[in-house]
Amino acid sequence: MSLRDLKQQFLEYLEIERGRSALTVRNYDHYLTRFFDWLGSDKVTDVTAPKLREFRLWLNRLESSQAEEGTLKKRTQNYHLIALRAFLKYLRKQDIKCVDPEVIELAKVPERMIDIISHEEVVRILDAPDTATTIGLRDKCILELLYATGLRVAELCSLSRDDIDLREDGFSIRGKGEKVRIVYLTDTARETLKKYLGGRTDSDEALFIAHGKSSAKRAERNEDLRLTPRTMQRILKHYAIKAGVTKTVTPHTMRHAFATSLLHNGADIRSVQALLGHSSIVTTQIYTHVVDNQLRDIHKKFHSR
């Protein structure tokens, strides 16, 4: 079979057997297609260790309009290599002779830096919406839920009204890799959400929808009113500017603020890992910088000099 036919089988395997999200499947398709186009061949036997090394070199020199230095970031290069390695492992599982996937080694990447905003900045952003308006009340709910739960923006967008029982402290969410976890509401988030949903007169199942004149026309055309991740990113940016926060603020920034708030107040890292829905504790450990001040105080208190 040709490489492209095998790729299609592999993508279907990811979707059905592995239960990967549509976005993951689409990304793998993109990375593998880029490799096949570069290879200029449709034969499995042409995927050799030397060719893989040449591809890595080509990726490293590939110009990117999104990168300051003009080339692909190491992390993006690794995404290509991860997709290739997974594809080759799949071929071996199907007893198709191919190059050993283990010849592909990932590039070392610098430790991830995360966007941090102070508690005071978070409070200013949370207080920025005008709750006297429907849109302002909706946006207040979005901000409060992001900070209360640490949800990813895609997870928040996916919520429907029936997913949350406001008589309960928490609710379940299906996150990355189809993993289900429990997240919890603060009193402020619950009360704001209760007020917002109590004022809704529409029958749309989505928890957060578009409001205003344009939304009425969309409803008449039976179009989806559910807010998208891109819209929520714009909402965060708007209120950060309104609150006078000069840093770049995204929904993921609020997720970071959620995690650092828990750690600042004494939560253990395993609990934070569970609340964030991280598969690996290593991912959660990027937030441990928040104990730096505690380490400084311990050093000052106990060092003999």
- Which tens digits make up the pLDDT trace of 92-150? 999 999 999 999 998 887 766 666 788 999 999 999 999 999 999 999 999 999 999 99
| Set 51, 252, 264, 289: catalytic member | 252
Mean of pLDDT over the chain:
87
Question: pLDDT class for 175, splitting at 50, 70, 90?
Answer: confident
Rounded distance, CA 248 to CA 30, Å? 28
Q: Parallel, antiparallel, or unpaired: how do β-strands 180-184 and 170-174 relate?
A: antiparallel
Rg (alpha carbons) of the chain, rounded to whole number: 23
- Predicted pLDDT at 61: 86
Tell whether the model's pLDDT for residue 69 goes beyond 60: no
Where helices occur in 199-302 by DSSP H, the ranges are 213-220, 229-242, 251-264, 269-276, 281-284, 292-302
Question: pLDDT class for 66, splitting at 50, 70, 90?
Answer: very low
Cβ neighbours of 188 (radius 10 Å): 13
Rounded distance, CA 152 to CA 164, Å? 16
Q: Which of 178, 177, 17 is nearest to 94 (CA)?
A: 17
With a pLDDT cut of 70, the percent of the chain lying above it is 88
Reported pTM: 0.70
Q: Is 256 noted as a catalytic residue in this protein?
A: no
Does the domain spanning 3-103 belong to CATH 2.40.10.10? no
Question: pLDDT class for 29, splitting at 50, 70, 90?
Answer: very high
Q: Report, as an integer, the average pLDDT of 53-60.
A: 92
Q: Which amino acid is at 278?
A: H
Highest mean pLDDT out of 67-76, 197-206, 283-292:
197-206
| Set 80, 152, 190, 256: catalytic member | 152
Q: Report, as an integer, the average pLDDT of 62-87.
A: 80
Tell whether the model's pLDDT for residue 304 goes beyond 80: no
Q: Is 278 noted as a catalytic residue in this protein?
A: yes
Tell whether the model's pLDDT for residue 177 goes beyond 80: no
Q: Is 230 noted as a catalytic residue in this protein?
A: no
| Set 190, 211, 255, 256: catalytic member | 255
User: Any idea which residue has 């979707």 for tokens?
Assistant: 15
Q: Is 4 noted as a catalytic residue in this protein?
A: no
- Predicted pLDDT at 283: 79
Question: pLDDT class for 68, splitting at 50, 70, 90?
Answer: very low
Rounded distance, CA 270 to CA 273, Å? 5
Q: Is 255 noted as a catalytic residue in this protein?
A: yes
Q: How do the domains of the chain map onto residue ranges? A: 3-103, 119-296
For the stretch 270-273, contacts whose Cβ atoms lie closer than 8 Å and that sit 24 or more positions apart, written own/partner, are: none
- Predicted pLDDT at 154: 92
Domain at 119-296: CATH code: 1.10.443.10
Q: Do domains 3-103 and 119-296 have the same CATH topology?
A: no
Tell whether the model's pLDDT for residue 67 goes beyond 50: no
Tell whether the model's pLDDT for residue 57 goes beyond 50: yes
Rounded distance, CA 185 to CA 305, Å? 46
Rounded distance, CA 233 to CA 236, Å? 5
| Set 51, 73, 74, 176: catalytic member | 176
For the stretch 8-14, contacts whose Cβ atoms lie closer than 8 Å and that sit 24 or more positions apart, written own/partner, are: 9/94, 10/86, 10/87, 10/90, 10/91, 13/90
Q: Is 303 noted as a catalytic residue in this protein?
A: no
- Predicted pLDDT at 147: 95
Structure tokens at 97: 């002779």
- Predicted pLDDT at 112: 64
